[in-house]
Structure 1
Amino acid sequence: MMETAYKLHYNPALDGLRGVAILLVILSHAHAPLFDGAFFGVDLFFVLSGFLITSLLLMEFRSQGRIDYWRFYRRRFFRLMPALALFLGVYCIAAPFIWPDLTDIYSDALVSILYLADYGIAFFDSPDTLLHMWSLSVEEHFYLIWPPLLVLLLRKSAAMRGRIWLPLLALWVLSTLWRAFWVGQGQQFYEIFFRFDTRASGLVAGGLLAALMVEKPQWIERLKSQRAYSMWFVLAVPLIMELGWDNQHAMLWGITVVEVAAIVILLSVQKPAGLVYEMLTAPALVKLGRLSYGVYLWHYPVVRYLRAEYSWPVAVIGGVLISTALAALSFYTVERWALRYRDGRQTGRMPARSGMARQEPALREATQNS
C-alpha cells in the first residue's frame, strides 16, 4: 500500500524565524557583547520544532487513527543523519590539523553521532569541542519519545471530547516546574542547561500550540484576534538578553518567557499579513532559515576558530558566511540526495524533477529542524 506524505502548507515566516534563531546562536558563541543571553535562540528552535513535528503527527493520527512509527523514524533519520555524518566526518579529518593539541576529537564525534551529547556535557564534560551537539541530542530524544507518548495522550483524551491541548498544557507546566525543581536543589547551571529532561519544555510548548491550532478552542481564537496587543510581550525577549551564562534566573523564568514569546510569534504569522510576518519573510532571513540545520552543524567549530584569532564582529560575520557556504554545499549534495531517497522510497519511485521542485518548499517546512 502506498504511504501518504503528510505535509504542511509552506510558511516562509517560519524559515525567517529559524534565521533569527541561528543568528542569535552565532552571536552567543562569538561572545558578542550585549548578547550574553543569545543562547535563548535555541529555545526558538525547540518551540518551532515541537510545533511542526506535532502538527504532522496530529494530521496523521486524525487521518489514519494511528501513527506509523517506523515511517516517522525513517524520515527523521534521512533528514538528519546524512548531514550530521558528513559534518562529523569532515571534523574528524580537519580538526587534528586545525587544533593539533586536542585529544578528544574522535570521542566527541562518537558521543555526538550517538545523540548522547546532552547528558554527556551535563555530567561528563563530553563532547567539549562539539559543545553545540547537545541541542541535537535533546531534539532526538524528543523524536524518540514523543510519537508514542502523543498517541497515548490522544487516546486518553478521547474521554474529554478529544481536547488533547489540556494534557499537553499540563505537561508543559510540569516540565517547566521540573527545571525549576533542579534550580531549587542547587544543581549547577550547566547541568540543568544541557539536559533533555530539563529542556524539553520548549518542544512540549510547540506541541501544545500545534494542538491548539488543530482544536481551535474559543479562547485561542480570541487570543489570535488580539495578536496586535500580545506582540508587545515579544519585546521582553531583548530585555532578558542580560541573563548571561550561570544566571539561574534564565533557567527559572527566562526560558519560559522565550517559549511564550515564540508561541505569540507563531500565532501572529499564521496569516500572511502584518509587520511581524513582513519582517520574518525578508529574503535573506528566509534563505538563512532554509539552511539553518546545516548552519547550526557547521557554525560552532568555525566560530570557535575565528573568535580565538579575531574580534567578535569578524567571528560573527565570518561565522555566518562560512557556515552558510558549508551548509549550502551539504544541502545541495548529501542532504538533497537523502531527501530524494527518503521520499522516493516512500512512494515507490523517485519523484519527477519538476514534481520535486514543486514539493520542495512544503518538504522543507515539514522536515527542516534546528
Structure 2
Amino acid sequence: MNQSQQFSVSKERLPGLDLVRVLAVYFIILSHAGFETFRGIGVPFLLALSGFLITNSLLKEINVKKSINTPRFWRNRFLRIAPAYYTFIIAAFILDTVILGDSWENNLLFFAATHTVNYFNALHGHGSGMVAHLWTLSTMEQFYLVYPLLLIGAFKSSRPVTVLITFVALSIGWRMLIYTEIVSFDNKIPWIYNALDTRIDSLLIGSLAAFLLTKKPYASFSLPNWSWLLVMFTAGYGLNLSKSLPDFHYTIGFAFEGSLAIIVMLCIMKLSEAKWLSIVNGKLITNLAKISYPMYLYHPIGLGIGFKLSDNFLFGMLLGTVSILILATISFLVIEKPFMYLRIEHNVKGAFR
C-alpha cells in the first residue's frame, strides 16, 4: 500500500447518520407493509450508507496504520452480524415450516445459512417467506468479504478512487448486458436486482462518498437550511422517478439512485445541525439506530403479528411497528450486546499485541 498517500479523514462523529440508518430500515419496513411510495427507496439508502460507513472506517485505519487488518475486520463483521442473523434464521425456519406449514424449497436453508439469499432470489425469484428480505444483508455481507481486498489492491495502484469508479462502470456495464439479453439469464430481473455483481456499484457509490469527504471536508458543505431541504426533496423525487423507469432503473439507475441516496444523506446530516432538529442526534434516534439491524431482521415477523391482531391497516401497521421494536430490543439485549463486548475485547487485545 502506498504509504505516502494520506487522506484527511475526520475524527469527529458525523451528525445525522443514526437517523439515516433508522430511515433506511424503516423505509424497507414501510415498503414491505404495502406502502408503494417507499418501494425501492430504502435499499439504495442501506447499500450506499453501508459502503460509506465501512470505507470511512477503513480509511481511518489506513491513515493510522498504513494498512488494513483484514482478519480483524472480518472477525468484527462476523461477531456483529452472525449471532443475531443465525438466531433469526432458526426462528424464521420454525415459524415458516412448523407453525405456518410452509416448506423451504430449493435448498433455501442452505442459502440462508451461507448468507447467499440474494443469489437464491436471483435464481428462483423473490419469494414471500420470512427470509426473502435477507437478500440485502447477504449482498452487504459478500461486499464486506471482498471489499477490504479490493481496497488494498486499489491503494497499491496509487489511484484508489479511479479503481472504485472502474468497478462502478463494470457493474453498470454488466447489468446492461444482462438487461438487453446480450448475456442470457432465465430470471434476468431477479438477478439484476439481487446479485452482488449487479448491485456492487450501489455500495461503491457510498465508498466514493467517503473518499470525497477526505478531499472536501464535511464542514465545507455550507448552504442555508432551506436549500438543503430543497435539495433533499428534489433528490427524493429523483429516486421515485428512477424506479418508475424500468429501462433506466435496471441499467444505470442503481448507481444513480445510490448517488441520490448519498445526497439525501448529506442533506439530513446538515439539517440535523439545526437547533430545531436537535432530536435527530438525541438518545431516541441513537437508541433506535442501535436496534436498526434486528429491526431489519425481524420486521416480517413483527408486521405479521401486527396485521394478525388487527384488520385495520393503519392500526395493524402501528401494532406491527411496536412488535418489531420489542423483538429488536430483545435481540439486541440478549444476543447482540454480549457479542459486542466480545468484539471490543478482541480489538483491545489486538491493539496491545
Return the match for 1:225 from 210, 222, 226. Answer: 222
Q: What aligned pairs does 1:229-244 form with structure 2 within 5 A after superposition?
A: 229=227, 232-235=230-233, 236-238=235-237, 240-241=239-240
Return the match for 1:17 from 15, 20, 23. Answer: 20
**What secondary structure, in the 3-state scheme, does the structure 1 residue paired with 2:41 have?**
helix
Deviation for aligned residue 1:273: 1.7
Q: Which residue of 2 aligns with 1:151?
A: 152
Contact 1:13 1:277 in 2 (8 A): no
Q: Which residue of 2 aligns with 1:294?
A: 294
Structure 1 residues 80, 142: closer, same or farther in 2, change over 3 A?
Answer: same
What is the rounded CA distance, in whole Å, between the counterparts of 2:210 and 2:338 in structure 1?
30
What is the rounded CA distance, in whole Å, between the counterparts of 1:277 and 1:173 in structure 2?
38
What is the rounded CA distance, in whole Å, between the counterparts of 1:293 and 1:225 in structure 2?
32
Q: Which residue of 2 aligns with 1:360?
A: none
What is the rounded CA distance, in whole Å, between the counterparts of 1:242 and 1:315 in structure 2?
29
Unpaired runs of 5+ residues, structure 1, are 1-5, 158-162, 350-370
Q: Which residue of 2 aligns with 1:140?
A: 141
CA RMSD in angstroms, aligned pairs only: 3.3
Q: Which residue of 2 aligns with 1:123?
A: 123
What is the rounded CA distance, in whole Å, between the counterparts of 1:185 and 1:233 in structure 2?
36
- 1:327 and 2:325 equivalent? no
TM-score (normalizing by structure 1)? 0.78
Contact 1:237 1:257 in 2 (8 A): no
Return the match for 2:32 from 24, 29, 36. Answer: 29
Deviation for aligned residue 1:136: 1.0
Return the match for 1:178 from 171, 174, 184. Answer: 174
Deviation for aligned residue 1:283: 5.6
Deviation for aligned residue 1:306: 5.0
Deviation for aligned residue 1:111: 1.5
Which amino acid in 2 is paired with 1:193?
A: Y
Contact 1:109 1:127 in 2 (8 A): no
**What secondary structure, in the 3-state scheme, does the structure 2 residue paired with 1:103 have?**
coil
What is the rounded CA distance, in whole Å, between the counterparts of 1:70 and 1:86 in structure 2?
24
Q: Which residue of 1 aligns with 2:6?
A: none
Post-superposition Cα deviations, 1:18-71, rounded to whole Å, max 9, x if no partner, equal: 111122111111112x42x52220110111111111111111122112111110
Contact 2:33 2:317 in 1 (8 A): yes
Structure 1 residues 331, 177: closer, same or farther in 2, change over 3 A?
Answer: same
Q: What aligned pairs does 1:300-339 form with structure 2 within 5 A after superposition?
A: 300-304=300-304, 310-339=311-340
Deviation for aligned residue 1:336: 0.4
Deviation for aligned residue 1:290: 2.3
Q: Which has the higher contact order (CA 8 A, sep 6+)?
A: 1
Q: Which residue of 1 aligns with 2:110?
A: 110
What is the rounded CA distance, in whole Å, between the counterparts of 2:61 and 2:288 in structure 1?
29
**What secondary structure, in the 3-state scheme, does the structure 2 residue paired with 1:348 have?**
helix
Bigger shift: residues 227-236 or 313-322:
227-236
Deviation for aligned residue 1:202: 1.7
Q: Which residue of 2 aligns with 1:258?
A: 257
What is the rounded CA distance, in whole Å, between the counterparts of 2:149 and 2:137 in structure 1?
20
What is the rounded CA distance, in whole Å, between the counterparts of 1:30 and 1:273 in structure 2?
32
What is the rounded CA distance, in whole Å, between the counterparts of 1:345 and 1:167 in structure 2?
32
Q: What aligned pairs does 1:162-173 form with structure 2 within 5 A after superposition?
A: 164-173=160-169
Post-superposition Cα deviations, 1:1-30, rounded to whole Å, max 9, x if no partner, equal: xxxxx9964445111111111221111111
What is the rounded CA distance, in whole Å, between the counterparts of 1:238 and 1:275 in structure 2?
26
Deviation for aligned residue 1:258: 3.0
Q: Which residue of 1 aligns with 2:76?
A: 75
Deviation for aligned residue 1:89: 1.8
Structure 1 residues 106, 172: closer, same or farther in 2, change over 3 A?
Answer: closer
Unpaired runs of 5+ residues, structure 2, are 1-8
**What secondary structure, in the 3-state scheme, does the structure 2 residue paired with 1:39 have?**
coil
Post-superposition Cα deviations, 1:162-185, rounded to whole Å, max 9, x if no partner, equal: x53333334334433433443233
Q: Which residue of 1 aligns with 2:4?
A: none
Structure 1 residues 227, 88: closer, same or farther in 2, change over 3 A?
Answer: farther
**What secondary structure, in the 3-state scheme, does the structure 1 residue paired with 2:132 have?**
coil
Which amino acid in 2 is paired with 1:232?
A: L
Structure 1 residues 89, 246: closer, same or farther in 2, change over 3 A?
Answer: farther
Q: Which residue of 1 aligns with 2:210?
A: 210
Contact 2:307 2:319 in 1 (8 A): no
Aligned-pair identity in percent equals: 25
